[in-house]
Structure 1
Amino acid sequence: MATAYRAQPQPRAHRLPPALRAPFEGRTWREFAYLLLSLPLSVVFFSLALALTAAGAGLVVTFLGIPVLAGALAMCRGFGAVERARARALLRLDVADPAPVRAQRAGLMGWIGALLKSGVSWRHLLYALVHMPWAVFAFCVSLTFWAYGWSLLTYPLWQWVFPVYAGVDGLQLYGDGTHNFYLDSPFELAVTSGIGLLFVLVTPWFIRGFATVDRLLVAGLLGPSRLEGRVVELESDRGVVVDTAAADLRRIERDLHDGAQARLVALAMDLGLAKEKLSEDPQAAARMVDEAHGEVKTALQELRDLARGIHPAVLTDRGLDAALSSVASRCTVPVLVEVDLPARPVPAIEGIAYFTVSELLQNVSKHSGARTASVDVWRTEDRLLIQVRDDGRGGADSSEGGGLAGLAERLDAVDGLLVVDSPAGGPTVVTAELPWRT
């Protein structure tokens, strides 16, 4: 449909299996650094948060406890900003910043009240308190496994330190004053190194598991709440709906001004001239009236087309099956339409489905170079699915700025989805998903 096509980068092939690559991958070392930094930072965050929260709770019987508690929450929000930045840098986890505190009243008391009522602030405090014991556990386990693994793996390289500087044969495994057992024979060195290799191979997966828990804590406690995210999404969707409605009104105004209105003005002038010539030259007046009659038919057709573009009568009277068949009949390529719906959705969803198919078929006519196309509409659980397929040249692009991007925004405004599958050379399959509402 559109002509732009972007090749997808192919993943790089690795010769080593993941188990052998993991100890040397940058992800492992970044996550290990995150776990190591978590201990000192979490101790500081925990101590300050607990101290200020306890002080505020203890002083709440006086007025001083309220601002102290609000200060503790504000401090915890600052800790959350540090943790989100650390997660972005080391865990590659991009968590959006929560909305700033909005006071309903101006002044210090309004800000304090907004902080105390903010669920986001209390979640930041919970993170500061909960993360410290987890950070201690993850730090100790990951560092222990990492240190034992690499020290045992490289033991044959530094075993000479014991006889040279400690006066013993090697690393002492057992000793009770009578019997001593040192790791010093070639076999014992090989076994020790093998155990170290096992630790080295296992440690990255422990680290990744611990980092996954940290990702869940950061995303769950330090990001925007679901309600807040939904509000932002609805505000964005409302803006899209308003912009779309304004664009539609401008289009209707332009079509009326440039089409039917201009034709009716010309018709009125022609009829005025015919009226003046009626007594002088009846034949000329008759010709002018005949031409005006043709203009009336053309204006009526333009008004019908315009009304069909706003909301076709066939959609209201007979539903999607008949309306889409009417759209398909005006397409420049043969289109097979199959609609399998148990009932009619609400008019708003039905109208969006109609205009989605209409726009996609216009793209097929103008850009695809296809020989045939098909439209399938069906219901799956609580979703209305639309699939438009053509055998054209492919390369349709739903990137920002294109017609498909605008269509995707319209669908998103009603919790819909648009998926474009259009490799170069075709075929192109565009699937639209809408909520089913009756």
Structure 2
Amino acid sequence: MAMETEHRPRRHGEPYEPYERYEPYGPKRRTHRLPAALRAPFEARTWRELGYLLLSLPVSVLLFTYAISMFSLGMGLLITFLGIPVLAAALAGCRAFGAMERARARALLKLDVADPRPVRADKGGLMSWVGGVLKSGVSWRHLLYALLHFPWAVFAFVVAVVFWTYGWALFTYPLWRWVFPVYAGQGGLQLYGDGAHNVYLDSPFEIAVTSLVGLVFTLATPWLVRGLTMVDRGMVAGLLGPSRLASRVSELESGRGVVVDTAAADLRRIERDLHDGAQARLVALAMDLGMAKEKLAEDPQAAARMVDEAHGEVKIALRELRDLARGIHPAVLTDRGLDAALSAVASRCTVPVRVEVDLPARPAPAIEGIAYFSVSELLQNISKHAQATRATVEVWRTQDRLMFQVTDNGRGGADVSAGSGLAGLAERLDAVDGILVVDSPVGGPTTVTAELPWRN
């Protein structure tokens, strides 16, 4: 159950609650009349996970047999040159099985594991590919999965089948008990027998107890199956997916792409602002001054009026250049830090904004700039879209992270997944290992919490 969020600004001295408490706004979950324990045996997830465990046995037998046979053959042939390509073929086959296992986990367990990077051959040709396969840690992890998954699949298959079949068989015992007196010549299911004494489950009380025990098994089996598939999830993600280093490199490459695109967009914006604003105004100013120069001798009063108008245009051009420079990097941020810079931004907002900055020192300049422009963009959104009457900006440090929170009492409904400006802001923060969390139910209020690395 999601916790209710109290939208009261954090006061100085109060401990900060982690950002996990702020849940992104989304559609409300469907309520169920039955509790989860009673729904579990009939949910699609339970049957998918059970199907995964049942399929794991034949798949693991095939994979284990292939891996052991090919690996043993390759090791035995290492005394000749043939052992090396056989080992490479064994690892390549394991990688192919791994792709199938990732697809099976994606379909039945809803576990989306990224494909590892393909084999990198330094040069073209078969031997270069063989060397790439043998040097790839991913290939050896696929072989390890083939060896480890087989005993686990046997265990999980036996446990799942036993609990599932016994649970449903005992639970439905009152429905099929008639088979014993009709076809077996006995009162019911035999519980004990030694030739002299026989105990059958045939009385109403015994039948009810048997069905009750079956019900307990039936209700417990989905959670047991879920626990078994958690091990499979860990094995697939840990052994068949990309390594942590490769994932980190991919994240950094993606973050670098976001930074490059953002920088290019900023340059285009600056060029457009200069071309349409200050540059056009300066061109017009130069033309006016040229005309004033021509009229200076024949009509001094008209020339004076034109110079006075040009003086006004110069002031406007200077204001536009000052605004443009502030958009690139404000001087107040460099000279006085986030407190003064954010106070200046808040003073230009269309709603009253209270700013609280509690920092023991200044973070890295790059992080400080990202925090400044992020808060500026959030305040612009409040001015344009929130229909709020007040807002709050809080900035503080917790351990090695710079935190800021922007709250308004507007109409809410902000959603990062909608592809709005918040999505671009989240991408920019993610490019520097930052996090953006939005809590904005329809009707408000809206709370945007972000954290950035301190890096000082």
- What is the TM-score when the length of structure 2 is the normalising length? 0.89
Map 1:233-382 onto structure 2 (within 5 A).
233-382=251-400
Q: CA 1:406–1:22 in 2, change beyond 3 Å: closer, same or farther?
A: closer
Map 1:86-125 onto structure 2 (within 5 A).
86-125=104-143
Map 1:16-35 onto structure 2 (within 5 A).
17-35=35-53
Amino acid at match of 1:403: G
Q: CA 1:82–1:287 in 2, change beyond 3 Å: closer, same or farther?
A: same
CA distance, structure 2, for counterparts of residue 262 and residue 338 of structure 1: 40
Amino acid at match of 1:329: S
User: Are positions 1:143 and 2:161 aligned together?
Assistant: yes
Alignment-derived partner of residue 9 in structure 1: 28
Could you give the per-residue CA deviations for residues 18-47 of structure 1, whole angstroms, max 9, x where no partner exists?
Answer: 333333332222222211111111111101
CA distance, structure 1, for counterparts of residue 174 and residue 451 of structure 2: 62
Could you give the per-residue CA deviations for residues 123-158 of structure 1, whole angstroms, max 9, x where no partner exists?
Answer: 111111101001111111221222222333333443
Measured after TM superposition, the shift of residue 116 of structure 1 is: 1.4
Q: CA 1:102–1:14 in 2, change beyond 3 Å: closer, same or farther?
A: farther
Measured after TM superposition, the shift of residue 164 of structure 1 is: 4.0
Alignment-derived partner of residue 410 in structure 1: 428
Q: CA 1:265–1:183 in 2, change beyond 3 Å: closer, same or farther?
A: closer
**Local SS of the residue matching 1:106:** coil
Measured after TM superposition, the shift of residue 118 of structure 1 is: 1.7
Q: CA 1:292–1:65 in 2, change beyond 3 Å: closer, same or farther?
A: same
* Alignment counterpart, residue 193 of structure 1, candidates 208, 211, 218: 211
User: Are positions 1:176 and 2:194 aligned together?
Assistant: yes
Amino acid at match of 2:257: G
Q: CA 1:385–1:118 in 2, change beyond 3 Å: closer, same or farther?
A: same
Measured after TM superposition, the shift of residue 6 of structure 1 is: 8.4
CA distance, structure 2, for counterparts of residue 162 and residue 54 of structure 1: 52
Range with bigger deviation, 154-163 or 101-110: 154-163
CA distance, structure 2, for counterparts of residue 73 and residue 52 of structure 1: 9
User: Are positions 1:214 and 2:266 aligned together?
Assistant: no
CA distance, structure 2, for counterparts of residue 23 and residue 398 of structure 1: 35
CA distance, structure 2, for counterparts of residue 412 and residue 179 of structure 1: 73
Q: CA 1:7–1:320 in 2, change beyond 3 Å: closer, same or farther?
A: closer
Q: CA 1:302–1:180 in 2, change beyond 3 Å: closer, same or farther?
A: closer
Q: CA 1:266–1:48 in 2, change beyond 3 Å: closer, same or farther?
A: same
**Local SS of the residue matching 1:411:** helix
- Contact 2:25–2:440 at 8 Å: present in 1 too? no
Amino acid at match of 1:14: R
CA distance, structure 1, for counterparts of residue 211 and residue 388 of structure 2: 65
Range with bigger deviation, 23-32 or 411-420: 23-32
- Contact 2:25–2:438 at 8 Å: present in 1 too? no
Measured after TM superposition, the shift of residue 7 of structure 1 is: 6.3
Query: Structure 1: any 5+ residue segments left out of the alignment?
Result: none
Query: Structure 2: any 5+ residue segments left out of the alignment?
Result: 1-23
Measured after TM superposition, the shift of residue 328 of structure 1 is: 1.1
User: Are positions 1:398 and 2:416 aligned together?
Assistant: yes
User: Are positions 1:44 and 2:62 aligned together?
Assistant: yes
Measured after TM superposition, the shift of residue 97 of structure 1 is: 2.0
Range with bigger deviation, 280-289 or 114-123: 280-289
Q: CA 1:276–1:81 in 2, change beyond 3 Å: closer, same or farther?
A: same
Q: CA 1:398–1:175 in 2, change beyond 3 Å: closer, same or farther?
A: closer
CA distance, structure 2, for counterparts of residue 401 and residue 195 of structure 1: 52
- Contact 2:201–2:207 at 8 Å: present in 1 too? yes
Q: CA 1:202–1:256 in 2, change beyond 3 Å: closer, same or farther?
A: closer
Amino acid at match of 1:264: L
**Local SS of the residue matching 1:426:** coil
Measured after TM superposition, the shift of residue 361 of structure 1 is: 1.3
Range with bigger deviation, 186-195 or 24-33: 186-195
CA distance, structure 2, for counterparts of residue 353 and residue 393 of structure 1: 24
Range with bigger deviation, 382-391 or 239-248: 382-391
Measured after TM superposition, the shift of residue 169 of structure 1 is: 4.5
Could you give the per-residue CA deviations for residues 40-66 of structure 1, whole angstroms, max 9, x where no partner exists?
Answer: 111111010111111112222322111
**Local SS of the residue matching 2:167:** helix
User: Are positions 1:59 and 2:77 aligned together?
Assistant: yes
Amino acid at match of 2:375: V
**Local SS of the residue matching 2:444:** coil
Alignment-derived partner of residue 18 in structure 2: none
Measured after TM superposition, the shift of residue 170 of structure 1 is: 4.0
Amino acid at match of 2:92: A
Measured after TM superposition, the shift of residue 398 of structure 1 is: 2.4
- What is the TM-score when the length of structure 1 is the normalising length? 0.92
Q: CA 1:365–1:160 in 2, change beyond 3 Å: closer, same or farther?
A: closer
Could you give the per-residue CA deviations for residues 69-127 of structure 1, whole angstroms, max 9, x where no partner exists?
Answer: 11111111111122122222222222222222232221212221221122222111111
Could you give the per-residue CA deviations for residues 314-347 of structure 1, whole angstroms, max 9, x where no partner exists?
Answer: 1111111111111111112221111100100111
- The count of residues paired between Structure 1 and Structure 2 equals 433
